[in-house]
A = this chain, B = another copy of it.
């Protein structure tokens, strides 16, 4: 019954059901997504997608972000290309329990669809966004971690479902139609982890957005799938997570009558969107503690006339996942550098920061950065959690500096506050929108007040 339960919950959810903190988390999630998408709009991956797919563009209803509303294409391609842009700098949000980047697939589909249909209010948009994010995170929790371990990019493999749920709401699908939309989305499983480090990683949330939008549109038209798509013997959960012996119980736990999803409306259950977090650094989240430590060590060391030649060694004690995901020793370009704990740590130590500028190809190939990078050793320490790290810098003169991180900035425990989130937005959007970045920031931050979502995209 998971599919129908999810459909029933999602169709019934209204803006007025949402607690204040949930609305605030949704606004922050949308705002962060918009900043990342505008920031990623001129990345080569985004541009290649746009250029190569231009021959297929249909009616110009939906905004391609990064052009102040001046570029509109059809909703399906807008969902795809904005979705690519949202993830291309690996700077988007993270639901830490599943490492899903939840807003990319959902908001990319939702904004494109809302502009296509017109007349969707900011409040209805927020309710749909919450429904979609809860849906993808709950199904993600059901299959986590086996599903990720086997090699699926969980952001996109669950993202189609989240996008379908969200778009179903604003297109007005009933419960049964929504279930069929979930099925149509579930049958399109996007994203192999092998693609990490290539353009295709960012294709994943984009294509998931497009698949979910397509699913909702076709289901609204009467196209049938299965009302047991998630829980059937050969349905989504069992097929994408065959190694989890109790997969159906797990699905029931997270989308069950006894579970969490059915209860959030009554204020009893857990809202996954409250567990969403925002990255201060545009790279894999498992490196964040190391960057945080190195950036703090920058103040202690590099600001005190210590030159690179004075550094003998840098040792980072890390959770095993750090090397599994980000162990690239000699990244060739900015994209690979996002998967290099060595480059990222070097930037933290050398510059005291790791913003998008530090993942420019030129910085990755900068001899000074490489000189630091090559002195970093990452040591696996299974006693550490992924949140923790200990970084030890030894100088040639024997001095030793140590920094221990329990929770990196950007974690649930040390979240980005609103001013930091706004700085992050502007850091990304000023290079793209220039003076228009402030108006974009205001429009996105005030989304709740929009009478029609179409009124805000002219600033984005």
> A299 interface residue, CB < 8 Å from B?
no
> A235 interface residue, CB < 8 Å from B?
yes
* Number of chain copies forming the complex: 2
Q: With contacts A192-B229, A218-B48 known, is A187 near B199, CB below 8 A? A: no
> A74 interface residue, CB < 8 Å from B?
yes
Within 8 Å by CB of A223, from B76, B200, B220, B221, lies: B200
Residues of B within 8 A of A266 (CB): none
Q: Are A194 and B233 in contact (CB under 8 A)?
A: yes
Residues of B within 8 A of A56 (CB): 58-59, 74-76
- A188 to chain B: closest residue by CB: B190
Chain A residues 49-99 with CB under 8 Å of chain B are 49, 51-53, 55-59, 74-76
Identify which of A75, A188, A192, A225 gathers the most chain B CB atoms within 10 Å of its CB.
A192
Chain A residues 23-63 with CB under 8 Å of chain B are 44-45, 48-49, 51-53, 55-59
Flag the segment in A161-169, A238-246, A313-321, A443-451 that touches B: A238-246
A193 to B193, CA, bound (A): 23
Residues of B within 8 A of A238 (CB): 150-151
Residues of B within 8 A of A225 (CB): 195, 198-200, 203
Residues of B within 8 A of A194 (CB): 183, 187, 226, 228-229, 232-236, 239
Q: Are B189 and A221 in contact (CB under 8 A)?
A: no
Q: With contacts A200-B187, A239-B150, A243-B242 known, is A51 near B221, CB below 8 A? A: yes
Within 8 Å by CB of A234, from B58, B193, B199, lies: B193
Residues of B within 8 A of A48 (CB): 218, 221-223
The distance from the CB of A332 to the nearest CB of chain B, in whole angstroms, is: 12
Residues of B within 8 A of A55 (CB): 58-59, 74-75, 116
The distance from the CB of A56 to the nearest CB of chain B, in whole angstroms, is: 5
Within 8 Å by CB of A183, from B193, B200, B218, B243, lies: B200
Q: Are A239 and B151 in contact (CB under 8 A)?
A: yes
Residues of B within 8 A of A232 (CB): 194
Residues of B within 8 A of A153 (CB): 187
- A148 to chain B: closest residue by CB: B234
The distance from the CB of A106 to the nearest CB of chain B, in whole angstroms, is: 19
The distance from the CB of A369 to the nearest CB of chain B, in whole angstroms, is: 23
A193 to B199, CA, bound (A): 30
A57 to B44, CA, bound (A): 26
Q: With contacts A52-B217, A229-B194 known, is A200 near B184, CB below 8 A? A: yes
Q: Are B198 and A226 in contact (CB under 8 A)?
A: yes
Q: Are B218 and A53 in contact (CB under 8 A)?
A: yes
Q: With contacts A58-B74, A151-B238, A232-B194 known, is A223 near B203, CB below 8 A? A: yes
What string of 1s and 0s marks CB contacts (under 8 Å) between A105-127 and chain B? 00000000000100000000000
A239 to B57, CA, bound (A): 32
A239 to B228, CA, bound (A): 23
What string of 1s and 0s marks CB contacts (under 8 Å) between A362-400 and chain B? 000000000000000000000000000000000000000
A199 to B183, CA, bound (A): 11
Chain A residues 327-365 with CB under 8 Å of chain B are none
> A207 interface residue, CB < 8 Å from B?
yes
> A204 interface residue, CB < 8 Å from B?
yes
Q: Are A224 and B200 in contact (CB under 8 A)?
A: yes
Q: Are A150 and B242 in contact (CB under 8 A)?
A: yes
Q: Are A195 and B187 in contact (CB under 8 A)?
A: yes
Residues of B within 8 A of A271 (CB): none
Could you show 25 A-B contacts with beta carbons less than 8 Å apart?
A: A48-B218, A49-B218, A52-B220, A52-B222, A55-B59, A150-B234, A150-B239, A151-B238, A152-B239, A183-B195, A187-B195, A187-B203, A188-B188, A188-B190, A192-B229, A192-B239, A193-B239, A194-B226, A194-B228, A194-B236, A194-B239, A198-B224, A199-B223, A200-B225, A242-B243
Taking Cβ atoms with an 8 Å cutoff, the residues of A that contact B are: 44-45, 48-49, 51-53, 55-59, 74-76, 116, 150-153, 183-184, 186-195, 198-200, 203-204, 207, 214, 217-218, 220-226, 228-229, 232-236, 238-239, 242-243
